[in-house]
Amino acid sequence: MNLIEQNRYYKTDIFIDINGNIYKNKIFKIENGHVKFFEKVEKKEIIELNSIVFPSFVNAHTHLELTNINKSDLNFSSFVDWVISLIKEKRKKDEKFFLNSYLKGKNLLNNYGIYAFGNILSPFLYDKIPENDKEFNFVEIIEYNKNNIENINLNYPKVSPHSFFSVHPDLIEKILKLNKPISIHFFESKEEYEYLIHNRGDIPEKLYSFTNLKPLKYNLDYFLNFLKKVQNVQLVHLCNLPEDLKPLIIKRKNELHFTLCPRSNKKFGLKSPYYFFIKNNIPFSLGTDSLCSNDDLNVVNEAKFIFEDLKDEFDKEQLAKILFLCLTKWGYKSIFLNTIIYVYISNFTSYNNFYFYDFLEYHSIMNKN
């Protein structure tokens, strides 16, 4: 997998644009992240690719700084047990560990041909990561203590109030008022649902007694109101979404952004709601979450996971095309990235009969490491 450079003329066999349109034998140039096609260009100026050119796939939700945490040190018996064991492991590590993990994770993504990503990043790493990476990062805010809200630095282009169970509602309110792109974990687990809707379960009983926090009272009306008014938000997971919120998700499908991580959810016995999204024509993107809850960071494997599950329910080529959009167009949108990064692979064998599924398959075979 190689990157297409900006402002140079290329000629390629197949060009797939951000809407999944396929063009054959085109001369093109990328300017400011946008494609321009040309009829005639002087031959010596053209780089001949004989390849397939397409928008880099997007891993829309990951935590690269956790790449080097040892999964076998974590407790998978329940979602909350896992969170507690992860907090314990993180407390043993220093800044250098997390920076190295971030860089290693990014390298893994690039090896899979994935150059665009939505990463959740600890504030202390923001000044340490490469300058060009900053547009891919939501700076993570975890603060549940009301007395500390005043001192929180929110001066980043994109922020991630981690979740409703780890950030005080007043702080979420304050972040929403800033009107910048945000990413938030949203009804990922059964425990999250139990706490946010019924104020009970493992989050108040186990997690808050471990972290010395006092449960706050959320309810369904709070979330109905949240979904009605919120702007520029990426909601992640949605495995245990209350039924009453679903009409709003459908109604605001083109204003809100949704990212699903089916393989990570499966590690906790949770079912990602991709069927509901596809059935209702709701655009969504795909993420892997971190290596602490997944086998790899190759987001194409999330698409293949969904394909395998739903291939008998939908037209296969139609399904593969939707998954291509999940990996590209809707991925870029969900991480609020305006410029598209184009890549190419050579030797794709079925140029004459282009099938999205073959292409996804080929992409992941090419990048197995």
Residues in contact with Zn ion by the rule CB under 5 A: 289
Closest distance to Zn ion from the beta carbon of 191 (Å): 15
Q: Which is nearer to Zn ion, 79 or 357 (CB)?
A: 79
87 sits in the region (left: phi over 0; alpha: psi -120 to 50; else beta) called alpha
Q: Which residues pair with 59 in a beta bridge?
A: 117
Closest distance to Zn ion from the beta carbon of 273 (Å): 16
- List, in order, residues 6 or more apart from 349 with CB less than 8 Å away: 362
Closest distance to Zn ion from the beta carbon of 188 (Å): 8
Q: Which is nearer to Zn ion, 17 or 289 (CB)?
A: 289
Q: Which is nearer to Zn ion, 65 or 289 (CB)?
A: 289
Question: Cα–Cα distances in Å, from 333 out to 24, 87, 92?
Answer: 26, 31, 36
Q: Which is nearer to Zn ion, 191 or 289 (CB)?
A: 289
Q: Which is nearer to Zn ion, 26 or 162 (CB)?
A: 162
Q: Which is nearer to Zn ion, 66 or 326 (CB)?
A: 66
Q: Transcribe 73-89 into DSSP letters.
A: GS--SSHHHHHHHHHHH
Closest distance to Zn ion from the beta carbon of 80 (Å): 15
Closest distance to Zn ion from the beta carbon of 289 (Å): 5
Q: Which is nearer to Zn ion, 27 or 260 (CB)?
A: 260
Burial 249-270 (b: 16+ CB within 10 A, else e): beeebeebbbbbbbbbbebbeb
CA 178 to CA 289: how far, in whole Å? 26
- List, in order, residues 6 or more apart from 365 with CB less than 8 Å away: none
CA 203 to CA 223: how far, in whole Å? 18
289: helix, strand or coil: coil
7: helix, strand or coil: coil
CA 152 to CA 9: how far, in whole Å? 47
Q: Which is nearer to Zn ion, 51 or 234 (CB)?
A: 234
Closest distance to Zn ion from the beta carbon of 61 (Å): 6
Question: Cα–Cα distances in Å, from 330 out to 150, 255, 284, 287?
Answer: 35, 12, 6, 12
| Residue 349: CB atoms within 10 Å | 8
The torsion angle over the Cα atoms of residues 58, 61, 64 and 65, rounded to 10 degrees, is 160
56: helix, strand or coil: coil
CA 320 to CA 341: how far, in whole Å? 21
Nearest residue to Zn ion on Cβ basis = 289
Closest distance to Zn ion from the beta carbon of 154 (Å): 20
Q: Which is nearer to Zn ion, 189 or 367 (CB)?
A: 189
Question: Cα–Cα distances in Å, from 291 out to 64, 109, 137, 295, 329?
Answer: 8, 12, 17, 6, 24
Q: Which is nearer to Zn ion, 51 or 264 (CB)?
A: 264
- Residue 173 CA from chain centroid, whole number: 23
